[in-house]
Amino acid sequence: MDNPVVFELVATVLKVVLALVVALQVAPLMVWVERRQAALIQRRIGPNRVGLFGFRLFGFGQPLADTIKLLFKEDFIPKHANKVFYVIAPIVPALMGLLAITGIPFGKYVEVMGYRVNLQPVDLNAGFLYLFAVSALGVYGVALAGWSSNNKYALLGGLRASAQMISYEIAMGLSLLPIVFIFGTLNLQNIIGAQSGHLLFGFLPAWGIFYAPVSFVIFVITMFAETNRLPFDLAEGEAELVAGFLTEYGSMRWSLFFLGEYAMMFTLSALTVCLFLGGYEIPYLPQTRIVEMLSGTLGNELALWATFLIGFGVLIFKVCIFMFIFVQARFTLPRFRYDQLMRVGWVYMLPLALVNVVVSAVWAALSKF
Amino acid sequence: MGIETVAFILMGLLAVALAGTLATRRFPVSAAMLLITLMVLLAGMYGLLDAHFAAVAQIIVYAGAIMVVFVFVMMLLNLPPEETRFGTLTLGEGVLTLAGLGAAVVLGTKVGHGFLRSAFQPTNARAPFFPEPENLKNVAALMFTDYLWAFELISFLILAAIIGAVVISKKRKTHAEHA
Amino acid sequence: MLSMPELGLYFSFLLFLVGLFTVMFRKNILFMMLGVEILLNAANLAFVSASKITGTIDGQVVMFFVMAVAACEAAIGLAMIISLYRAKASVEADDLKLLRG
């Protein structure tokens, strides 16, 4: 443990494991939340039977039961499918979802044995572009699933998904440019740091959402499209395409797609929180202040750990708000028609994002130079 | 030999092997998937060469955008698997190809070893503007100063390509429909 | 012993050879276009390796420009393939030898 290289390695592995643990909890929890919330919206009861140790707990055991059911289902590969790609396809979105989550900063830093550990598992020099790179690769899972199933509906679903993701990725990337030149960095830790500590107009927290509100709106809309959620889930529109690219899938392979989808939802929500809503920081109370207050009683090292836990809770809370919006939108809004989807992407989102970039660039240039 | 060099060699060999398999595939889609894997491997190699921006741009632009368009078109056409057919070369063409390859090897090794090592000594080349880990800022600093004209021209090229693609792929009215 | 960027130049050469082979010998236009992408990637690898050898950033900037050109090439090429497929119902280079048609 004296060797800094070994220490760095161990710390990185632990951080990645933490991120993966979080990511793997998201899918089962969200399945339960989604079913219960849908039931509430539709005035049903929803799954409330499966409990633990005789307590029902609002059906909290349901995800466990679902997982066991999915694991024991027959692992079926259709005869007419392209076997190699049929097997690879569900792995891609799951892998990319889990990889993406490692780029989220869960806290500022802690000190262990004199070393400072940055609490962002993967911190490349390219900053949050890493998240974009990984999420851009996720589309191949859907496209491959559609193609390898050798089924007309699946193929149409795959085609729609790839067209949709390409169209909305452009608006998504453009919507984040104002954030980059307002804060002058791509590093998520620095962006969060720039959002805390001072106030805008004396009373607003200096969050990205107040600097670039249009970007926030565009980003949230494109986020729905990127994760293939309603109202943008044309790729699996039941009314027209049976189940789209999922038609030929069952058991654990089917659920891998959802593991990826929920992990990606979590990651994009966390990215929104970091860029626009101050990340793990509490408004009006920056973490440096918390550390100062706590270090008197706990000592510096423990105070950092306590702050990390508080910040982690704050981050999860903010992400939960977005997850709630995701589910609420799914059971509130009807699905777009395909031509409407393309029109929204290319005719409204893209020009709006471009105008937003130019206006923010002029404003940033005038205020900075 | 450090662990990075070993990883670099493995990735390079794997990339070349993938490219070789690609050339003999029957399905265009499987060839495209191999090419995507190759590009991700190349991105890893760029990362090992400390070109972080190149690595990320490679994945976002190449693997994430250009290849999606390829896969999209392949799925749209949804061709049946074809027999892998290769063209043939006449003797003269073969000789010319080999001569060209020989010239490429000579020039490549000469340029690679002689020219790069002598003419571009670190003293001769311009040092990066920002200190070492700031790869992104360095690329930006160069792209928007010395290469600004190239950047603007490339953006016009892309605009022309977009318009060209739309015009070419537009369904033309046949003569029968005109009449 | 060769250093990492020098090895990169050699890998780039090998990749270029394979790409050249694909472009020259495959008769399917889609495969020929994939071969062109391999060629461009090989060139990019050479640019990045050279930028590491010389300790400058220029190679990486040029690599980005090559990528933009590749995007243009893919857009135009694929549009042409779709339009050719509509006219001839084939993507074989041998079927497309008429100047008018």
Of B8, B39, B51, the CB nearest to C60: B51
Between the alpha carbon of residue A292 and those of residues A285, A287, A296, B75, the distances in Å are 11, 9, 7, 59
In the predicted model, residues of chain A with pLDDT beneath 50 are: none
Q: Does residue C56 lie in a domain region? A: yes
Average pLDDT for chain C: 84
Identify the chains in contact with A, defined as 3+ C-beta pairs within 8 A: B
Q: C34 and B22: CB-CB below 8 Å?
A: yes
Q: What is the pLDDT of residues B77-87, one digit of tens each?
A: 877 776 666 77
Q: Does residue B179 carry a pLDDT above 50? A: no
Question: How would DSSP label each residue in A17-67?
Answer: HHHHHHHHHHHHHHHHHHHHHHHHHTT---S----BTTB-GGGTTHHHHHH
**How close B125 comes to chain C (CA, Å)?**
7
Q: A143 and B72: CB-CB below 8 Å?
A: yes
Burial grade of A335 (CB within 10 A; 0-12, 13-18, 19 or more): middle
Residue of A nearest to B63 (CA): A137
Coil, strand or helix at A282: strand
Coil, strand or helix at A117: strand
**How many domains does chain A divide into?**
1
How confident is the model at residue B115, as a pLDDT? 61
For residue A314, give every residue at least 6 positions away whose Cβ sits within 8 Å of its Cβ, in sequence order, or none. A280, A281, A282
How confident is the model at residue B84, as a pLDDT? 66
Q: Does residue C98 lie in a domain region? A: no
Residue of B nearest to C43 (CA): B42
**Residue of C34, C53, C69, C97 best to disrupt the B interface, most CBs of B under 10 A:** C34
Q: Cα-atom radius of gyration of chain C, to the nearest Å?
A: 17
Residues of B in contact with A129 (CB under 8 A): 56, 60
| CATH 1.20.120.1200 fits domain B1-79 | yes
For residue A325, give every residue at least 6 positions away whose Cβ sits within 8 Å of its Cβ, in sequence order, or none. A220
Q: What is the pLDDT of residues B112-162, one digit of tens each?
A: 666 656 655 555 556 667 776 777 888 888 888 888 888 899 999 999 998
Look at B22-36, B64-78, B121-135, C21-35 and tell me which has the smallest mean pLDDT: B121-135
How confident is the model at residue B160, as a pLDDT? 92
User: What proportion of chain C, given as a percentage, has pLDDT over 70?
Assistant: 96
Which of B14, B27, B101 is closest to B70 using CA atoms?
A: B27
> Is the Cβ of C76 closer than 8 Å to some Cβ of chain B?
yes
Residue of C nearest to B150 (CA): C65
What is the mean predicted confidence (pLDDT) over C8-13? 86
> Is the Cβ of B81 closer than 8 Å to some Cβ of chain A?
no
Residue of B nearest to C29 (CA): B28
A101, β-bridge pairs: none
3-state secondary structure chain B: CCHHHHHHHHHHHHHHHHHHHHCCCCCHHHHHHHHHHHHHHHHHHHHHCCCHHHHHHHHHHHHHHHHHHHHHHHHHHCCCCCCCCECCCCHHHHHHHHHHHHHHHHHHHHHHHHHHHHHCCCCCCCCCCCCCCCHHHHHHHHHCCCCHHHHHHHHHHHHHHHHHHHHHHCCCCCHHHHC
Q: Does residue C99 lie in a domain region? A: no
Contact (CB, 8 A) for B29 and A85: yes
> Is the Cβ of B60 closer than 8 Å to some Cβ of chain A?
yes
Note the maximum CA span of chain B. Answer: 74
Alpha carbon distance A222, A165 (integer Å): 9
How confident is the model at residue B121, as a pLDDT? 57
Average pLDDT for chain B: 80
Residue numbers of the domain that contains C70: 4-92
**CATH number of the domain enclosing C78:** 1.10.287.3510
**How close B178 comes to chain C (CA, Å)?**
17
Alpha carbon distance A353, B1 (integer Å): 48
Residue numbers of the domain that contains A241: 4-368
Q: Which tokens sit at A174?
A: 């453009």
How confident is the model at residue B114, as a pLDDT? 64
